[in-house]
Amino acid sequence: MSFFYLIFILLTAYFSFRYDRIEEYDSHKQHRLWLMCGFLILLTGFSYKLGADKFVYLSEFETYPKSWGEAEDFIIFNILIKGQMPLWTLVNLLCKIIFDSFYAVQLLESAAINISICYLTSKYTHRYFLFLLIYFISLQYFIFNTEVMREGFALSLTLIGIDCYLNGKKWLFFVLLPFAVMFHLSALISLLILVPKISVSWKTLGQVFFVALMMWFLGNIVLGKIMGAALGGVSTFSTKTVYYFQQATTIFGFLRFTIKYLILPFVIMYSVMLQENDNRKKYIKEKIIIFMLILGLISCAIPGLIRIYNYIYVFYLIALADFTFSIFSYKKLFIVRFGTIILSFLLILELYLGHYESTNTYHYEFFYPYTCILDENVDVDFRNIAHDEALNYKADDKNTHQIE
């Protein structure tokens, strides 16, 4: 069934060659974009045990009641015991009662996240298909559709809300945000888009890097203890929060994170912004860069919170598509720009190299080979076993450690 992957890659590559040069409105280009969006929705919407975290959601789905009589108690239980927000539980309950199938949940999530991402793509770049190709081969598509599914619902609403805010419909951002938060608390990080616009320059990057370095240094010394003392208790939220804040990196890990989540994204997004001739679009791109710098700073300084970077990752990949497309048309600093692209793709694709020794599996095997609902007899339980090992993978990473 993995030929579905090849079909998508070949189609997006062809459409990129055929349509990505077109900058004015083209109905055929729009049609192909939404055709590929539908392909992505169906690909993971009808997948079978594809991914890693999905095994957790699948096992939890089996415990959901099949009647509304227990719904209220179940929602409260999931909030207090599992730390899961009510709209996620409600979606699962609806799918359990109406369809009695987790396929309905994953299809809804896949539709929500991919429609919102393709909508943003149609507004923020003309390189629709190059973006989709990068989105796919970087594994970010699989992460959004099979790993962070609760956050995926939140992200789908938040991305639309951020777009509305940047384009003058601020009220709609504040309408969508509470719904996003009711899927996943991480959506609150999108409030940082409200930070007033500041002038973006290389000096700004240097200042952010210095702040991140100071936060990282202090965090390795006191952050875990402070958070533990401040929160205390044994509630799910307290336990999770302390756990996230106890994740730390060595200086080598910090530098690697800084290059991947701060420096390279800034170089790419700043370059794309400088090439923008429309003042309104340039203003929007500058606001997005500021948002990225803040999230990058937090992710580098406090690696336990790195999942918040999901809220900027789509904008970064859109800029990467523009940056890559212009490599030959924009000749200035060609060697630097070409090197930036190569390094960016190497860091993005490092996910493929994650190896889990006890199961002798690689990270990409969570998503390859492809298995769909027609393959339910295929044994993919190794993914569940590898997922359990992956949860402890960082413990053996020389670039990370736990704050005691």
Of 21-25, 266-270, 327-331, where does mean pLDDT reach its minimum? Answer: 327-331
CA distances from 152 to 3, 155, 158, 310, 384 (A): 26, 5, 10, 9, 20
The torsion angles phi and psi of 401, rounded to 5 degrees, stand at -160, 170
- Whether the Cβ atoms of residue 307 and residue 244 lie closer than 8 Å to each other: no
Q: What is the CA radius of gyration of the chain?
A: 21
Rounded percentage of the chain residues whose pLDDT exceeds 90: 54
Please name the amino acid found at residue 302: I
pLDDT exceeds cutoff 60 at 391: yes
Query: Could you tell me the two tokens for 133?
Result: 């190709």
pLDDT exceeds cutoff 60 at 9: yes
Quick: pLDDT tens for 277-304. Answer: 888 999 999 999 999 999 999 988 888 7
Q: How confident is the model at residue 229 (pLDDT cuts 50, 70, 90)?
A: low
pLDDT exceeds cutoff 90 at 189: yes
CA distances from 364 to 30, 176, 187, 369 (A): 31, 34, 27, 9
Residues paired with residue 402 on neighbouring β-strands, in sequence order:
247
pLDDT exceeds cutoff 60 at 83: yes
Mean pLDDT confidence for 182-206: 91
Grouping H, G, I as helix, E, B as strand and the rest as coil, residue 362 is strand
Grouping H, G, I as helix, E, B as strand and the rest as coil, residue 90 is helix
- Whether the Cβ atoms of residue 302 and residue 219 lie closer than 8 Å to each other: yes
Q: How far is CA 367 from the centre of its chain?
A: 16
Of 124, 34, 54, nearest in space to 314 by CA: 124
CA distances from 142 to 229, 280, 290, 304, 341 (A): 37, 33, 27, 21, 22
- Per-residue model confidence (pLDDT) at position 359: 77
Q: How confident is the model at residue 150 (pLDDT cuts 50, 70, 90)?
A: very high
Highest mean pLDDT range out of 302-306, 322-326, 329-333? 322-326
Mean pLDDT confidence for 31-40: 96
Higher pLDDT, 106 or 402: 106
How many other C-beta atoms are found inside a 10 Å radius of the C-beta of residue 172? 15
- Per-residue model confidence (pLDDT) at position 112: 97
- Per-residue model confidence (pLDDT) at position 248: 60
pLDDT exceeds cutoff 60 at 223: no
Query: Could you tell me the two tokens for 262?
Result: 């701060």
Of 161, 185, 184, 159, nearest in space to 172 by CA: 161
pLDDT exceeds cutoff 90 at 387: no
Residues paired with residue 361 on neighbouring β-strands, in sequence order:
356
Contacts of 25 (CB under 8 A, 6+ apart): none
Q: How many helices (H) and strands (E) does the chain have?
A: 19, 4
pLDDT exceeds cutoff 50 at 402: no
Of 111, 105, 154, nearest in space to 308 by CA: 154
- Per-residue model confidence (pLDDT) at position 230: 52
Residues paired with residue 400 on neighbouring β-strands, in sequence order:
249
**Helix axis angle, 86-98 to 102-124, nearest 10°:** 130
Contacts of 400 (CB under 8 A, 6+ apart): 247, 248, 249, 250, 253, 303, 394
Quick: pLDDT tens for 244-272. Answer: 545 566 778 888 889 999 999 999 999 99
Mean pLDDT confidence for 38-57: 93
pLDDT exceeds cutoff 80 at 231: no
- Per-residue model confidence (pLDDT) at position 404: 46
CA dihedral (193, 199, 201, 204) positive or negative: negative
Mean pLDDT confidence for 58-63: 90
Higher pLDDT, 334 or 58: 58
Query: Could you tell me the two tokens for 175?
Result: 């309408």
Query: What is the DSSP pairing of strand 355-356 with strand 247-249?
Result: unpaired
Higher pLDDT, 221 or 40: 40
- Per-residue model confidence (pLDDT) at position 301: 85
- Whether the Cβ atoms of residue 218 and residue 189 lie closer than 8 Å to each other: no
State the chain's mean pLDDT as an integer: 86
pLDDT exceeds cutoff 70 at 203: yes
Q: How confident is the model at residue 29 (pLDDT cuts 50, 70, 90)?
A: very high
Mean pLDDT confidence for 107-118: 97
The DSSP annotation for 291-313 comes to HHHHHHHHHHH-GGGGGGGHHHH
Of 385, 325, 320, 324, nearest in space to 356 by CA: 385
pLDDT exceeds cutoff 80 at 158: yes
Q: How confident is the model at residue 401 (pLDDT cuts 50, 70, 90)?
A: very low
pLDDT exceeds cutoff 70 at 381: yes
Mean pLDDT confidence for 24-33: 92
